[in-house]
Amino acid sequence: MHRINRVNNPIFIISIIIMVMFSFSISVMAEESERYGGTLNYPLPYQQSITTLEPGQSSDVTQAIITKSIFSNLVRYNESSGEIEPDLAESWEISENGLVYTFHLREGVTFHNGEAFTAEDVQFTFERILDPEQASTAVATVKSIAGSEAYADGESDHLSGLKIIDDHTLKITLSELDVGFLNSMADELAAIMPKDYTEKVGNDFGMNPVGTGPFQFAEMNQDENVIIEAFEDYYNGRPYLDQIEFLVMTEASTRTASFRSGQLDIDLVSPAQYKVFKNDPQYKDQLIEVSEVWIRNVMFNMDNEKFQDKRVRQAFNYAIDRQLIVDKLLNGKAFAATGWLPPSNIAYNSQLEGYAFNPEKARSLMEAAGYTPENPLEIHIIGTTNPAWGIPIIEAAMPYLEDVGFEITSEVVDGATWSTRARQGDFEAFIFSLGGHASPVKQLATTFWSEIPRSAGNYGNYNNEEFDKYIKKAMNTVDLEQRIEYIQMAEKILVEDPGAWFFNYNKAVMIHKPWVHGITGNALEMTYQPFHKIWIDDSSPRK
């Protein structure tokens, strides 16, 4: 018999090598490739309640965390880059004058109930938003469409600026230039609803929502949880997760304990926990950080004569060592602010120096304005108990301020009281967190443009002609680069003639269990995660 020496056979050796390489590559793939299935337990951390899941009826972040997965918009924000990308509209064209938008809608998209998505649904949604009976929270998103006022006033039976060319083509004409129109279309409040289903269920829609998003609504227990399930026919492919359970958990310490015990897969980290997690070898690599679009500030009431003198406001900004407060009190969970546009904003100006800690300069400015530590300027500041942007910060800043000629008294109010007093101008100064807009024009104009009334966001009644001029220019400029230039000019003016104490830009921090993949840092709002891209691996207890 002829025996073959297998070990010396080159074919055998090569095949062994190939097998080893193949099995190795499989194991690598197994480690890295996405996996379908499982449940994600996700917290709803804010002191807000889920009252309805109809997009235009809710404007709380808590509702939006969920509705963003159930619904789609014409366009959407990419959660990582913040850029606008196609959603239900596959593509779009904007006329040269920036007034006409032609959207080409995706074909073959269905709602969760099987209804086909067409241009009629868009028209229906926008008209529903404008219907005064709905008292919709989304009016601002469609207000710039021509004929919106006539429709809202009942003078017209249709929204004249919205024309359906065919089932999948839509032409929207604006009544005036609105450079933030695509941002409005990406706003979760302007999410598209199914015409037939909504007409059938009416105002019960919010309890049984139907959209075209990656997940469909399954169950809601008010103030407890919401469960959504994967939508098999999502136009972009079925999401990885089978299910997401959103758990209402407003207490930070409860969330931390639930996260550590494995009941939650993700947690929004508070400043107190930030340091602990950062120094914990088990968790330090599971932290995702981003500079959010919120600015913590002390807003000055410009109608109050104490703030008429620019030097007083400048002195306030020079007087406080904001970096030290950020480092020591917020455990580094913030970025000291130089102006009003945070690093995540497309118009962020890295050259803007802002106000460095300079007590001597603050003192001389106060002296020039007629105040000294012996003859101080009394200022009453209201705020909530929030440790990152409430009265605790004022208490920390007090010694700095008193050192240069201010005498500070503070008053704790709850959010509801703050909201009313701020809009009525019933304050000398307040500390709060403002912003939340991706669009730089909106971010600046909403709070400081003199044409915005106090009740609508210009709480301090800030009025600077130069600032207004650049804001208007930015609003009327289609070219992005040029627009950014105008915005940065406006911000520079705002910093030089400060309407607020620019304290910090929030650093939002999220922590996740090692088995969760796909979490991203969303500057617009950290809790808005791309749930359709998130997956969990085998080590999850809820795989």
Find the part of the chain contacting other proteins (CB under 8 A) among 98-106, 131-139, 306-314, 507-515. 131-139
- Residue 203 binds other proteins (CB under 8 A): yes
Rounded distance between C-alpha atoms, residue 489 and residue 498, angstroms = 14
Total binding residues toward other proteins, as defined by CB under 8 A: 55
- Going by C-alpha positions, the residue among 239, 238, 241, 257 that lies closest to residue 249 is 257
* Total Cβ atoms within 10 A of residue 109: 21
Q: Is 282 exposed, middle or buried (0-12, 13-18, 19+ CB in 10 A)?
A: exposed
Q: State which residue, 260 or 278, has the beta carbon closest to other proteins.
A: 260
* Smallest separation (angstroms) from other proteins to the CB of 50: 9
Q: List C-alpha distances in Å: 103 to 90, 100, 306.
A: 8, 10, 51
**Euclidean distance between CA atoms 439 and 140, whole angstroms:** 14
Please give the Cα distance from 268 to 478 (Å, whole number). 37
Which residue among 162, 189, 228, 394 contacts other proteins (CB under 8 A)?
189
416: tokens are 């509801």
Contact with other proteins (CB under 8 A) among 78, 80, 222, 409: 222
User: How far apart are the C-alpha atoms of 168 and 101, rounded to whole Å?
Assistant: 14
Query: Residue 334: which H helix or E strand, with range?
Result: strand 334-336
CB nearer to other proteins: pick between 261 and 279: 261
Q: Quote the least distance from Cβ 349 to other proteins, whole Å.
A: 23
Beta-bridged to residue 40, according to DSSP, are: 244
Contacting residue, 86, 359, 436, 518, with other proteins by CB under 8 A: 436
Q: How many CA atoms lie within 13 A of 406 on its CB side?
A: 28
Q: Which of 110, 173, 304, 446 binds other proteins (CB under 8 A)?
A: 446
Nearer of residues 9 and 203 to other proteins, judged by Cβ? 203
Q: Sign of the C-alpha dihedral, residues 529, 533, 538, 543?
A: positive
Residue number, 68 or 533, with CB nearest to other proteins: 68
Contacts of 492 (CB under 8 A, 6+ apart): 339, 349, 352
For residues 238 and 236, give the distance between their C-alpha atoms in angstroms, rounded to a whole number: 7
Least separation in angstroms between residue 302's CB and other proteins is 19
416 is an interface residue for other proteins by CB under 8 A: yes
CA angle 103, 105, 106 (to 5 degrees): 150
- Residue showing tokens 């095949």: 15
Among the listed residues 169, 263, 364, 386, the single contact to other proteins using CB under 8 A: 263
Q: Looking at residue 13, what DSSP letter applies?
A: H
Q: Which is nearer to other proteins, 171 or 275 (CB)?
A: 275
* Residue with smaller CB distance to other proteins, 206 or 239: 206
Q: Which is nearer to other proteins, 401 or 413 (CB)?
A: 413
CB under 8 A: which stretch of 3-11, 218-226, 265-273, 317-325 binds other proteins?
A: 218-226
Min dist. Cβ of residue 62 to other proteins (A) = 10
DSSP string computed for 81-131: T--EEESSEEEEEE-TTS-EEEEEEPSS-B-TTSPBP-HHHHHHHHHHHH-
Shortest distance, position 300 Cβ to other proteins, whole Å: 18
Q: Is 415 in the site for other proteins (CB under 8 A)?
A: yes
| Residue 258 sits in the site that holds other proteins (CB under 8 A) | yes
Q: For the chain, give the number of residues.
A: 543
Which of the stretches 93-101, 221-229, 508-516, 529-537 binds other proteins when contact is defined by CB under 8 A? 221-229
Please say whether the beta carbons of 110 and 117 come within 8 A: yes
Question: For the window 146-185, what string marks contact with other proteins as x by the rule CB under 8 A?
Answer: ----------------------------------------
Binding string to other proteins for residues 374 to 413, with x set by CB under 8 A, is what? ---------------------------------------x
251 contributes a contact to other proteins by CB under 8 A: yes
> Whole-angstrom Cα distance, residue 439 to residue 446?
11
**Which of 33, 419, 482, 539 contacts other proteins by CB under 8 A?**
419
CA distance 440 to 183: 11
Helix H or strand E encompassing 470: helix 465-475
Among 35, 260, 472, 542, binds other proteins (CB under 8 A): 260
**Vertex 326, ends 321 and 327: CA angle to 5°?**
100
Distance between CA atoms of 399 and 396, rounded to whole angstroms? 7
Examine residue 420 and tell whether it contacts other proteins (CB under 8 A).
yes
Q: Which is nearer to other proteins, 130 or 362 (CB)?
A: 130
Of residues 138 and 341, the one with the C-beta less far from other proteins: 138
- By the rule CB under 8 A, 135 interacts with other proteins: yes
Q: Which residues, at least 6 apart from 480, have a Cβ–Cβ distance to it below 8 Å? A: 346
26 to 55: interface string for other proteins, x by CB under 8 A? ---------------------x-x-xx---
The binding site for other proteins (CB under 8 A) comprises: 47, 49, 51-52, 59-61, 132-133, 135-140, 143, 187, 189, 203, 206, 221-225, 247-251, 253-254, 257-258, 260-263, 413-417, 419-421, 423, 434, 436, 446, 452-453, 455-457
